[in-house]
Amino acid sequence: MGKKRKLRKSLHKREIDDTPALVICVGKSCAPREVSRQLADQTRAYATASGSRVRVAVIGCLHVCKKGPVVATWPDIEFHKRVDLARACRLVDELAAEAPDVSEKTCPSEHAP
């Protein structure tokens, strides 16, 4: 199954249909799982603190291995490789700016340890 198709199928099961989301791969091949999970937790905390309506979700392997952490934007499905917290926050801000009635926040310049 292709990367985009797998992502669509998984997110439709979670009823994320057209809600803007940042989807973080937590498969074990592209980055250590604890690194990807920490990125997801920190990005989710940023999205919540900023008042953004952007959801942060996790998914199993997206088959873009050895280039992680890998993140996909939803609903436009763009893949981003080697994402750190600062870049994930910028992606949340970009998704929030595209969503109707969502205030724009700035991303922290440095990411937490």
Residue range 12-49, pLDDT digits in tens: 666 666 778 898 888 877 778 888 899 999 999 999 99
| Cα distances (Å, whole numbers) of residue 107 to 47, 49, 63, 91 | 10, 11, 28, 9
CA quadruple 67, 97, 106, 8: dihedral sign: negative
Whether pLDDT at 92 is above 90:
yes
Give residue 41's pLDDT. 95
0.85 exceeded by the pTM?
no
Whether pLDDT at 108 is above 70:
no
At 112, list the tokens: 């937490």
Average pLDDT over residues 74-86: 89
Question: Mind listing the domains of the chain with CATH numbers?
Answer: 3-11+18-98 (3.40.30.10)
